Structure 1
């Protein structure tokens, strides 16, 4: 067990926690019994109590069971942006013992088609604004039933906020699939709940070195481990109010901004889309105390020339991960609010955090120290031997939040774990080091991955789409430094001879926007007559990436 970080451990906390024997669904059941009249969700001026929430969870579960024939173990797609319907849908799926498959709402039809077929999704709950990406997939996938949600159903009659996103205010549209309001109007009652902590509960998708997404098998146990870990580490209470700005499909958003607050009986303030003006208004209006985010949100938030016009003094905690916060921004935050930005580290495979910075002693641009019951080490990726303090190696983790494995991919699962001292450690693929205080720092990545505003972009996946373009003969995708996003996606392309001089960079970018999620498509394209390769013909992507890094310095 790595105990180098114990001297830095928060004095008020034990070093181990007992994971509850209950399920994630039990969390909302208990909170609804404890705090029926307390506001659980604020949504652009509307407020919903725990009793309101629970009633709709049960009603939707009844509909899914009796009308969509959803059964225990079935995979159900949750494909929408942040809204009350996301919360209700997630708990309703779990109520039936089914498995939540959260899909990034920026994903396009081809990406959806792969995930649906990969894990055999039979039913989907979809945001109205992205319904067009799904409606044609019944014929080519395992998808049988679709429920469509319009976010405007949960807006108040009198709207206190201006300039809301179009998808939030759009009225209910006509289509051939079931509408949300009609589903709840059926008033169906679900069967008796029989879930247990060993049941598979969530199947979030991540990508790997092959570039194709992989489902990460998580039980209720792994989610509960990090839900209660987050609550204890951050010291929250049922009186706290959490600004839910991170997307719920993302592991950090669903744990820290949805499940954890509602488990302790707190309130969440939901933002469907990030908007710095709305964020400041909501913090002031609802006296938000906690805000978990990605660093690019903080940078944008503080860059608002009107930020001093808002009273955001209610904030007592600002934290996040995904990308390091620039030191200058962290100091600006501290000077203004007296708060230190608390960073953490985790992966889809660990359903959010494995490391936290101690709230009372955080270090900037630092992953933090291993959380409750986490044994994390740094090893030589070749010899698999543990390295000394200060030396760089691969970060590995063992803990209760680590996933079971990749769905239907036994070989890739086996390759992702090693055994040390009788323990099963997950190989993160991230290169890091430990300092003399036991804090972990990111150095580089073994895996070929781009981190764009906290989203993982796998170059080989983007390349696979670019090869579908009729004018592209060869493509190589790399990450380039970006002052706002951390990294951006750049594509090097070799055109077919007949296309040279006829295709512009903008043409490729515009085409790519239609093929893949907004965070994935290349922000720049450079045409070349050839790409550097090895003797065997393998493209030297690292050489291109190093060229870009050098270019950014000049």
Structure 2
């Protein structure tokens, strides 16, 4: 089967092209266009407070003016760290208005992790929520950061609500004592921005993803690659300007960024947003605002549909549930179809591919399946050692090419050489995932070549956590493995060997880890052993350890 006649075309959605003409606009163009078309339409509903498209654009323009006066120029990197809120989205587009590059950071990251992102990206200005300032303070004190624009979530609460608003969202604005901190209200009170010449091939975002070396790497995404993903995803799923999207997946993660920010802005659609996952609030909002679209990892949907509020609320407006990161359990898929008449559409993507890469056709989906390559995407299964293309049914490494694939890793040519390969003169990205393709052209996950652990859609790389564990004075050897988890998909487990004469217990080590790394990376279980199994070459036999945990 040649690339010109892939088997998945036999199951292609009717009326859709095989390839997509990617719009030659910038992300700022997309917001400006939607604001011109629908100025009074709610762009974001946040705990019943409404931000219109006109206000969205105006606030982003005002913040961009401040960033420019603070020295942000075209190509500069700006770190962005907060939980879901209107300010996150406004800040994202303000950076685009400057022609600069957003470095989105997980809100659970520690000061040490933030330091790496700052050092590697070269960002010298950050926009961060006030409760996350402790992660910024060391860099401010050292002069690595010139300035932090500080978000107060409560500034976005402009209307009363009976919803359960988290305390961190209701918290009043803090007095900013540390030099270099500027309140969001002050940063958006000045003159608007000066237009900057930017194009679709300019860099727009630098989301970080970890690697087998344990060192997170920046994925270079342009306006074009992010737009290709967003426009392709919305066309595939039949979304439009009248869609109402539930935005609960974190927007610092590509799933939330694409589905709850970039895609709705492209259409001028409405996002109903929560700062944190709250099943009861989500059920109330779906009913109140007639939410029609929801992108979510399976763990969140499992929690939602088990909640009493989901049983009593009117959820009839929901027309599309989609996501990825882990396979949706068969029992839950069956329940959604039987009780609510909804087919959960599973897809596949990575940070390196701006989330959207494969997806199941709406009318011909297969369960526990990565779907088929979407618009203009071509995927192959190759032998991970010889790189020879394998036939259907064989398991190997999934490699892909498409307009949404990143340009490469930021300033890491060694990683780029390892991550890309050529087939028939075309450049393919090596996903590191082991998969197989059936005769119909549908792809199925089999294993992870790179040991990656998937915790509710967040990537955890064992090498990174192991490196941190070796900093503990009592630990002699450490191995991080995954264990199946009904709620999160997988959980992180540590197997450690103590130094002679040292003592340490499970709660103590877990607490130590949570002080030094994001909560989702910290082990949830610890096993102490006298020694770790090794291969003939002396390498830790992590697969053997993982299989033992899976059987436990």
Output the TM-score relative to the length of structure 1: 0.97
Q: Offset at 1:366?
A: 0.5
2:199 to 196, 200, 208: 196
Counterpart for residue 432 of structure 2: 429
- The aligned counterpart of 1:446 is 449
Residue 368 of structure 1, CA deviation: 0.5
Distance in 2 (CA, whole Å) between partners of 1:307 and 1:407 is: 43
The match for 1:76 among 75, 78, 92 is 78
Contact 2:478 2:496 in 1 (8 A): yes
Matches of 2:418 and 2:142, distance apart in 1: 32
Aligned residues: 546
Q: Which residue of 1 aligns with 2:380?
A: 377
Decide whether the 8 Å contact of 2:279 with 2:309 is kept in 1: no
Give distance in 2, aligned partners of 1:364 and 1:469.
Answer: 43
SS at match of 2:187: helix
Q: Is the 8 A contact 2:97 2:195 kept in 1?
A: no
2:395 is aligned with 1:407? no
Shift of 1:140: 4.2
Q: Which residue does the alignment assign to 2:516?
A: 515
Cα separation, 2, equivalents of 1:100 and 1:268? 21
Aligned to 1:498: 501
How far residue 473 of structure 1 moved from its aligned partner, in angstroms, is 2.0
- Is residue 112–residue 516 contact of structure 2 (8 Å, CA) maintained in 1? yes
The superposition leaves residues 330-364 of structure 1 with CA deviations (integer Å, 9 ceiling, x where unpaired) of 11011111010001101111111110110112111
The superposition leaves residues 45-64 of structure 1 with CA deviations (integer Å, 9 ceiling, x where unpaired) of: 10111001111011000011
Task: Determine the C-alpha separation between the residues in 1 that align with 2:311 and 2:534.
Answer: 53
Shift of 1:535: 4.9
Name the structure 1 match of 2:106: 104
Counterpart of 2:340 in structure 1 is 337
Q: How far apart, in 2, do the equivalents of 1:58 and 1:302 lie? A: 40
Residue equivalent to 2:166:
165
Q: Deviations over 1:311-340 (max 9, x none)?
A: 111111111011111010011011111010
Contact 1:77 / 1:101 at 8 angstroms: preserved in 2? yes
2:78–2:101: 8 Å Cα contact kept in structure 1?
yes
Counterpart of 1:451 in 2: which secondary structure? strand
Alignment correspondent of 1:86: 88
Offset at residue 160 of structure 1 (A): 2.6
Among 15, 19, 26, the alignment partner of 2:29 is: 26
Give the alignment of 1:286-325 within 5 angstroms. 286-325=289-328
**Structure 2 residue 63 is matched with structure 1 residue 60:** yes
Partners in 1 of 2:270 and 2:308 — Cα distance?
29
**CA-to-aligned-CA distance 1:25-63 (integer Å, 9 cap, x gap):** 110010011111111110001011100111101100001
CA contact (8 A) 1:19 1:224 kept: yes
Worse-matched range after superposition: 257-266 or 89-98: 257-266
TM-score norm. by structure 2 comes to 0.97
Q: Distance in 2 between matches of 1:413 and 1:54?
A: 36
Quote the residue 1:530 is aligned against.
531
User: Does 2:184 match 1:180?
Assistant: yes
CA distance in 2, matches of 1:499, 1:291: 49
Structure 1 distance, partners of 2:543, 2:392, is 28
User: How far apart, in 2, do the equivalents of 1:498 and 1:73 lie?
Assistant: 53
Contact 1:120 1:143 in 2 (8 A): no
The correspondence of residues 109-508 of structure 1 with structure 2, limited to 5 A, is 109-140=111-142, 142-162=144-164, 164-175=165-176, 176=178, 177-185=181-189, 187-500=190-503, 503-508=504-509
**Shift, 1:157, TM fit:** 4.0
Secondary structure at the aligned position of 1:53 is classed as helix
Decide whether the 8 Å contact of 1:262 with 1:268 is kept in 2.
no
Deviations 1:450-485 (A, max 9, x none): 111111100010111111222222211111111211
- Extract unaligned runs of 5+ from structure 2: none
Map Cα deviations across residues 228-252 of structure 1 (whole Å, 9 max, x no partner): 1012111111111000011101112
